[in-house]
Amino acid sequence: MEVTKEIAEQYLLQMYQIRVFEEQAEKSYMAGKIHGTMHLSIGQEASAVGSVSALGPKDLILSTHRGHGHCIAKGADLKLMMAEFYGKANGYCRGRGGSMHIADVASGNLGANGVVGGGIPMAVGVGLGLKMQNEGKILLSFFGDGAASTGAFHESMTLSVLYQVPVVYVCENNQYAMSFPSNKWTTSEGLASFAACYGMPGKSVDGNDLLAVLEATEEAVEHVRNGNGPALVVCDTYRWRGHSKSDRNRYRSQEEIDAWKEKDPIERFKNHMIEKKTLTIDDIEKIKAQADADIENARLFAESSPDPDVSTLEEGVYAPW
């Protein structure tokens, strides 16, 4: 797959933004400036950027608890995102949601989700709504290997195929449902083969190869946009960090983590673009510097933003807000 310099720069910038954003969020957490928890997707950047890049600007996404990359790939405002991590009044969710609930419905991001398997039943409804509205929009719904074992997955896939909803499902198999290894019950190929059981196309790809993810998702998008019902893409990938901040990494070895770090999606895309002479080392350094500056601005914005006023605590439970 060939990409232009401009496009390559955009993909690389987004992957760097995700990586640097999460590294900064982690630093701020360690410094005690962000509380709660967070689910980092470092190591999975190609899956987020590759798949979302197959969508048009009016298309929608539904994300997961590990959704920072999806948000950034969909064009989220990094300042509002970081302010939300800091729990600030001008964050995406006015400090009500935090890292796990960032949404921007107006720009097509229908939200991350704190429940594993919580997004896929909604995806059916979004798809049903889009089909009824008939404006040519489609939805890309992320879930993980953990959600694939839930009953919600079976109900959602059944209804999706029954109603032929315009939804591309992207399963990010990052190998672990918290500590439970997905290879104890399935593989990325196995996950993709579920699609055939329900009667839709499914494909498993190397989720750390941005262009492979993009190509497979574009194929799925074309299928869905042409009115053929849903499709599934499984991205085989790996999270470098723990499930959340409570993770002690007792269920996997350092050797395993290091082996996956050798398959760093950012390094792979970078090297491929240098090989193809699409980007130079100088271009890449500039892009990385841009991402660093963007995240630093987001951090400064977040840190200088106000906390929500306690007097507003009970606002916004009901419409209008």
By beta-carbon proximity to other proteins, the closer residue of 31 and 319 is: 319
Rounded least distance, CB 212 to other proteins, Å: 29
Binding test (CB under 8 A) with other proteins, winner from 121, 190, 199, 201: 121
Q: How many residues does the chain have?
A: 321
Kindly state whether residue 310 participates in binding other proteins, applying the rule CB under 8 A.
no
Kindly state whether residue 320 participates in binding other proteins, applying the rule CB under 8 A.
yes
Q: Coil, helix or strand for 159?
A: helix
CA nearest 173: which of 164, 165, 184? 184
Kindly state whether residue 122 participates in binding other proteins, applying the rule CB under 8 A.
yes
Tokens representing residue 319 in the block: 């419409």
The H or E element spanning position 169 is: strand 167-173
Radius of gyration of the chain (CA): 19
Kindly state whether residue 224 participates in binding other proteins, applying the rule CB under 8 A.
no
| Positions in 53-112 near other proteins (CB under 8 A) | 60, 62, 84, 91-97, 101, 103-106, 110-111
By beta-carbon proximity to other proteins, the closer residue of 116 and 205 is: 116
Whether 64 contacts 283, CB under 8 Å: no
By beta-carbon proximity to other proteins, the closer residue of 158 and 290 is: 158
Kindly state whether residue 144 participates in binding other proteins, applying the rule CB under 8 A.
no
146-147-150-155 Cα dihedral, nearest 10 degrees: -160
CB atoms within 10 A of CB 282: 8
Whether 283 contacts 76, CB under 8 Å: no
Give the binding site for other proteins (CB under 8 A).
Answer: 60, 62, 84, 91-97, 101, 103-106, 110-111, 113-115, 118, 120-130, 132-133, 151-152, 155-156, 158-159, 162-163, 316-321
